[in-house]
Amino acid sequence: MPHKIIRNERLNSNVCRLEIEAIDISEKALPGQFIILRVDEQGERIPLTLLRTCQKAKTVEIIVQEVGTTTLKLCALRSGDEIKDMIGPLGVPTEIENYGRAICIGGGVGIAEIFPVARALKDAGNEVVSIIGARNKDFLILEREMRDVSNQLHITTDDGSHGRRGFVSDVLRELLAWGKIDIVFAVGPIPMMKVISDVTRPAKIKTIVSLNSIMVDGTGMCGSCRVTVGDKVKFVCVDGPDFDAHLVDFTELSKRQARFLENEKVSLEKYKGEHKPCHQN
Amino acid sequence: MPPKLERQAMPAQDARKRRKNFNEVALGYTEELALAEAKRCLGCKNSKCRQGCPVDIDIKVFIEVIRKKDYAGALRIIKEKNNLPAICGRVCPQETQCEEYCILSKKDKPVAIGRLERFVADWVIDKKIKEEIPQAVIKKNKKVAVIGSGPAGLTCAADLSKLGYAVTVFEGLHASGGVLRYGIPEFRLPKHILDIEVDFIQKLGVNIALNIVVGKTKTVEDLRQEGFEAFFVGTGAGLPYFLEIPGENLNGVYSANEFLTRVNLMKAYKFPEYDTPVVIGNKACVIGAGNVAMDSARAALRLGAEEVTIVYRRSVKEMPARIEEIEHAKEEGIKFHLLTAPLRILGDKFGRVKALICIKNKLGEPDASGRRRPVPIAGSEFELLSETVICAIGQGPNPLLLSTLPDLKLNKRGNVVVDHNLMTSIPGVFAGGDIVTGAATVIEAMGAGKHAAEKIDSYLKNKQFP
């Protein structure tokens, strides 16, 4: 059954926020879970973390960054358009409980993925300290939403155009020096998650990262998304996407993310050749 | 003695040509060939062939009807028992089923029952003959949920629908057919054939709900709330096994499931017209020697690999693939490294596969499976240059749905335990096919689906079994 686009709002030059009709998924989804979608008949199946769901409107919201053919196709959709297939909610929901003082870190579009976790942690009674960061002011998304669900919000940009200049890990190091931290949740680019993991390891602070690896079916059938965690091979789609950051082999993960880089370029060139850029908003 | 009639060979695409395309390899009998082959049937009074058919097709009679040139009539006889004849005629291992029982096989080659089955199914499709859709006489006001749209699920659903039940098949992927869709390549089972046979099942009244992952999108409990009174779990063998050797997460190592799903379901062989890629390189190794391994090797060749090698730890005698598939693979130029076990996979600095390190085996004493155990020969390690390694060493039961049913009894391999009525430890929940037996054949799964449909019918009639 096709899924109707209710709204597509462009947040910056390459990030969109889509609200999509999804009756069954909206009833079931919990923080940390994701969907897999296929835009059209020729489309690839890609996983995307859910930003939020609305049970009343029976919709889900996702944040999409234009990086490849599928994400470009998604961002080009307008309200009333349809995407062909969507399944979910997939993956194990994030373990939400009252940990005490929880740090929620989001980098780039990872902010979209940390948002539902921060909100649920706040609702569960945690003191939520959030750190969000991006390249510059324009790429920092969901600041207002994050402020609403955090007891304290820290902002960093690489160029200092908003918040403080630097990285989210800089703030984390300072927080670490200041006082007790019970748990850290971090979502963002692989190098960021690796640095966060290195920062919290000596202090033995439980750190959970949400991984986004290459998937096909998303139900544990193909093993495309496999990742080494400790001495075990895990499937991100069914065993994750949340894992203990201190056990994840980030080096292997980042190599595996480049598996189809050449093909992705070919596909993107072809798509761009057929569609002229569409950045009106 | 009447003159001996030769078993008619199957016309096939030329090996040199077909190794470069995804078009069907076996082309099917012409009418002349089919009639000549049907003539070979002795019409035994006590015919044994039917015993070898897991779905109990009246083989003797359908061949008799072929001889009268009533091909649509022959198909009707097959369809009394089997809703997927064009598929079964292509992928069933008839040599170990019906054809093994054929009396001719004692002294000569058996009647090519599978090829005749395919011929009549294709005839009706090609000639666009309108088929009568059998309608249930009495509609029973009861809903049955079938989980998984592979051969077991489709068969169970079709039979229950014919009995008058309101059946919905829930499929997690975006297309129906299960392994017939994602596993078996186009050159062995064209997807338009699958579409036609699934369409027929829908015309019987079966509702297929795609993109519903039962256990995630909806639970069995949700479905009970929606009024489903019985369930058939036919979720197949959807958990890929890996070798558990060093280097297995290097780029270029695929499970056969991933490789074939990319190629078949996602149509990566049409990249970049289709968005899903698959990378194969010049040299590829496939570990294993079952039908999935043959399919993977032959698909790799068609994707442009110059050299594709099957690496198998036992000898030619133990290879589990159908002889026909092994022959086809050899004709196409697939190499075979038998009595060879992979030890580790070597990568380059970018994390890409560059070689497979193997060791030679000799055969020792028989193991638990009755097959002679491969024993490594010390000092016989060697390197096979390769950019792709595909693991086709088997699949286990996918735990995604099963783990959401804590009361469901599983055996130590993780397969669902059923009683002689194919009912699981949860009342009203039945199971069949690979999820129960472990990876087996399409037709055995269909046999289980059929059997389960009968049992579900008796269960729903009086909540007990005769």
The region, left, alpha or beta by phi > 0 then psi within -120 to 50, assigned to residue A211 is: beta
As to burial, measured by CB atoms within 10 angstroms (0-12 exposed, 13-18 middle, 19+ buried), residue A12 is: middle
**Residues of chain B contacting A267 with CB distance shorter than 8 Å:** 271-272, 275, 277
Closest CA to B260 of B319, B183, B316: B183
For an interface test with A, the pick among B147, B149, B174, B179 (most A C-beta atoms closer than 10 Å) comes out as: B174
Which chain A residues are within 8 Å of B256, Cβ to Cβ? none
- On whether the CB atoms of residues B206 and B161 are closer than 8 A, the answer is yes
Q: CA-CA distance, B398 to B419, in Å (whole number)?
A: 20
The yes or no reply on domain A3-90 and CATH 2.40.30.10 is yes
Classify the C-alpha dihedral B453-B454-B460-B461 as positive or negative.
Answer: positive
Looking at CA atoms only, how far is residue A94 from chain B in angstroms? 15
- Cβ-based contacts of A43 with chain B (< 8 Å): 275
**Does the distance separating the beta carbons of B398 and A221 come in below 8 Å?**
yes
Q: What is the pLDDT of residue B136?
A: 72
The residue of chain A nearest to residue B259, with distances taken between CA atoms, is A222
Helix axes B31-39 and B59-67, enclosed angle (nearest 10): 120
pLDDT above 60 (res A37): yes
Residue A101 contacts residue A247 (beta carbons within 8 Å): no
Angle at B184 between CA B20 and CA A48, to 5 degrees: 100
Tell me, yes or no, if B261 comes closer than 8 A to chain A by beta carbon: yes
Residue A280 has pLDDT above 60, yes or no: no
Return phi, psi of residue B31, to 5°.
-60, -40
Rounded to the nearest 10°, the torsion over CA A73, A77, A81, A87 is: 50
pLDDT truncated to tens, each residue of chain B (466 aa)? 556 789 999 999 999 999 999 999 999 999 999 999 999 999 999 999 999 999 999 999 999 999 999 999 999 999 999 999 999 999 998 988 999 999 999 889 999 999 999 999 999 999 999 888 887 778 889 999 999 999 999 999 999 999 999 999 999 999 999 999 999 999 999 999 999 999 999 999 999 999 999 999 999 999 999 999 999 999 999 899 999 999 999 999 999 999 999 999 999 999 999 999 999 999 999 999 999 999 999 999 999 999 999 999 999 989 999 999 999 999 999 999 999 999 999 999 999 999 999 999 999 988 888 888 899 999 999 999 999 999 999 999 999 999 899 999 999 999 999 999 999 999 999 999 999 999 888 999 999 999 999 999 999 998 777 6
Cβ within 8 Å of residue B225, ≥6 positions away = none
Say what the pLDDT of residue B466 is: 64
Instruction: Give the phi and the psi of residue B269 in degrees, each rounded to 5.
Output: -70, -10
Looking at beta carbons, which residues of chain B come within 8 Å of A87?
172, 174, 211-213, 216-217
Q: Which residues have CB under 8 Å from B440's CB, separation 6+?
A: B433, B434
CB contact at 8 A, B400 and B215: yes
- Our measurement of the distance from residue A230's CA atom to the centroid of its chain's CA atoms, rounded to an integer in Å, reads 23
Between A179 and B148, residue with greater pLDDT: B148
Please tell me the distance from the alpha carbon of residue A15 to that of residue A33, in angstroms, as a whole number: 20
pLDDT of residue A277: 60
Task: Decide if domain A101-210 falls under CATH 3.40.50.80.
Answer: yes
Token reading at B233: 């779990």
Q: What 3-state class would DSSP assign to B257? A: helix
Instruction: Copy the structure tokens of residue B5.
Output: 């009639």
> What would the two tokens of residue B339 be?
């009595």
- What is the value of ipTM here, to two decimals? 0.95
Q: Do A89 and B217 touch (CB under 8 A)?
A: yes
Q: Are A91 and A241 in contact (CB under 8 A)?
A: yes
pLDDT digits (tens, 9 = 90+) for B142-154: 999 999 999 999 9
**In the predicted structure, residue A197 carries a pLDDT above the cut 90:** yes
pLDDT grade, residue A278 (50/70/90)?
A: low
Please report which helix (H) or strand (E) contains residue A152, including its range. strand A152-157
Which residues touch A36 (CB under 8 Å, ≥6 apart)?
A45, A46, A47, A48, A86, A87, A88, A90, A215, A217, A218
Going from N- to C-terminal start, the domains of chain A cover: 3-90, 101-210
B 173-192 → A contacts, CB under 8 A? 173-174, 182
SS3 label, residue A150: coil
- B211: nearest CB among A43, A86, A89: A86
Block residue for tokens 């899903």: B276
B262 closest CB neighbour out of A43, A216, A255: A216
Q: Which of A1, A42, A255 sits opposite B211 (nearest CB)?
A: A1
The encoded tokens of residue B132 equal 């009568």
What single-letter amino acid sits at B133?
I
Q: Given this chain, do its domains A3-90 and A101-210 carry the same CATH topology?
A: no
**B residues 193-222 lying closer than 8 A (beta carbon) to A:** 210-213, 216-218
**pLDDT tens per residue, range A122-166:** 999 999 999 999 999 999 999 999 999 999 999 999 999 999 999
Query: What's residue B137's pLDDT?
Result: 74
Torsional class of A89: left (φ above 0), alpha (ψ -120 to 50), beta (otherwise): beta
Maximum C-alpha span of chain A: 54
CB contact at 8 A, B306 and B283: yes
Q: Which of B49, B62, B142, B149 is nearest to B99 (CA)?
A: B49
HSE (side-chain half, CA atoms, 13 Å) at B316:
6
CB of B172 within 8 Å of any CB in chain A? yes
Spell out which residues of chain B touch residue A252, defining contact as CB-CB under 8 Å. 249, 351
What pLDDT band is residue A281 in, cutting at 50, 70 and 90?
Answer: very low
**What's the rounded Cα separation, in Å, for the pair B404 and B393?**
27
Helices (H), B3-83: 15-18, 31-39, 59-67, 71-79
CB contact under 8 A, B271 and A260: no
Residues 6+ apart with CB under 8 A from A106: A112, A113, A114, A115, A130, A131, A132, A133, A146, A168, A186, A187, A188
B281 min Cα distance to partner chain A (Å): 12
Number of Cβ pairs < 8 A linking chain A and chain B? 120
Beta bridge partners of B346: B355
User: Distance between CA atoms of B177 and B22, rounded to whole angstroms?
Assistant: 19
